[in-house]
Chains A and B, each alone.
Chain A
């Protein structure tokens, strides 16, 4: 009797994990389908279908400039990864960007209205820099450098990043759990592309703030599994002077506790993947709740994918790499499994709104596709052939 009771209580706490092992080809195929979704859901003005309700068969309206930049980024990442046609779709999306560049006292910025968000500028920089590499063109370099100067200006002396910019006065306000990492990654990329423009100084200030002070000062709850921070660390580890900065094997940056940050982040990503994989409907709906937003699942893949690349560069770093590989396969499996297939979409009156998309409770939002796409691209090389 005691055995049954104890095992039942343990079973309430620990559930089976829905983890498989998709092949690299399956993951690449899912990414290509996501690109197709963007191709089928872009308008003449360069915007994408922002939010769609498949139960009602209606777009739900709204738009978000940070997410627009994020979508462009994921499409240029797809082009870099060899999915042809992705950059052409993203280039159509640049029309919306060009329409909404604003001159502010801080410099040029991207966004609508009297306040613009630093995150939209950060992700636009990342997108344009990715485009530069994917297409081998420097036609947007002047804009990239101008946006980089704006980003440098929103960084405070202690490395904190202002979330919003008043386009009239140029003053910044607020903090965002994600913009710090987005701006850091943008600055880190700019230093790789333009090594003589001193973006590294500002990037290092943000980096130090991110890993030492951000959680204490801004107290985000629950703790942020910061996929943008993962992108940034991976990029900074490719800086020509990464060894001098001791960003490498010993994971110390001028005494900064990078290793502590890395381990905290890996634990967060790992726990969230395990938790998400236990959501399998039925009784688990009561104990684990409904599945996470697809964008959220995608960010888990982005974080883990970047850390796998980072750790592959520095194999001597002591982390549980086997478990990390398991979580990578698991999150890729969840994304492949949850994507809307062509046959599922055919039953709908507007199949192109569904095919290749990820839904949660009948709703999809363009950043669901964005994060899932980026994650699949980052993870596919870690999957079995």
Chain B
């Protein structure tokens, strides 16, 4: 599981244009919400990466097969992003708490991101995996904070990439030892 594949898969799993679509309209509130969303997602991803081995042991799933799981999850999220409109800012918690709901959950912190964090930590080690995924999450946060518009077409473009990257990641798991 190369770093490039992880980076691309995380971008697709945490589609920045879907996150942007449900971010608050006000610039100040939006930036505060992005900080909250990014921080809470980083915390959750770090926890998943830290617990990757116990989780895989509990589920009796090998690291190689977890790559297939991550690939399938990214693929499904990609298909969803292709066909389902990005979420709207409502309903949401008010103010910066919109960073928790709906930005972090359920938009940024997707099942695909959870499985990716577990699988990447198993393949590359907790520190490396968290470093790579964390950097991409920060990048996603910067994109959203830059007030980009979360249009359907932009989100769908990332979704179509997710279909390709998810397939590649699945094949990576299939052809692993």
Distance to closest chain B CB from A6 (angstroms): 4
**Residue in B closest to A304 when the chains form the complex, CB atoms:** B177
Could you say which residues of chain A place their CB within 8 Å of the CB of B73? 6, 10
**Are A326 and B175 in contact, with the CB atoms below 8 A?**
no
For the complex, count residues of A whose C-beta is within 8 A of B.
25
Known: A6-B76, A9-B76, A319-B177. Contact between A270 and B64, CB under 8 A? yes
Tell yes or no: B62 within 8 A of A by CB. yes
State whether A17 touches B60 (Cβ < 8 A). Answer: yes
Question: Which of A6, A14, A16 meets B68, CB within 8 Å?
Answer: A14
Interface contact B66-A2, CB-CB below 8 Å: no
Q: Is the CB–CB distance between A13 and B177 below 8 Å? A: no
> Contact at B68–A13, with CB atoms within 8 Å?
yes
In contact, B69 and A14 (Cβ under 8 angstroms) = yes
Instruction: Answer yes or no: A95 CB below 8 A from chain B CBs.
Output: no
Overall SS of chain A's interface: helix
Is B176's beta carbon under 8 Å from chain A? yes
Residues of B within 8 A of A271 (CB): 174-176
| Minimum CB distance partner of A321 in chain B | B177
The answer to whether B60 and A6 touch across the interface, beta carbons within 8 angstroms, is no
Q: How far is the CA of A222 from the CA of B177 in the complex (A)?
A: 17
CA distance A17 to B65 in the complex (A): 9
Q: How far is the CA of A319 from the CA of B64 in the complex (A)?
A: 13
Contact with B along A1-24 (1 / 0, CB 8 A): 011011101100110111100000
B136-177 CB mask vs A (1 if < 8 Å, else 0) is: 000000000000000000000000000000000000001111
Bound-state Cα–Cα, A266 to B176, Å: 8
CA distance A271 to B115 in the complex (A): 20
- Rank and list the top 10 A-B pairs by shortest CB-CB distance, nearest first: A270-B177, A16-B60, A323-B177, A14-B69, A6-B111, A267-B175, A13-B72, A10-B69, A320-B177, A14-B65
Ordered by A's residue number, 7 sampled pairs between the chains whose C-beta atoms are within 8 Å are A9-B72, A13-B68, A14-B65, A17-B62, A18-B60, A323-B64, A326-B62
- A-side residues, CB < 8 A to B, are 2-3, 5-7, 9-10, 13-14, 16-19, 266-267, 269-271, 274, 319-320, 323-324, 326-327
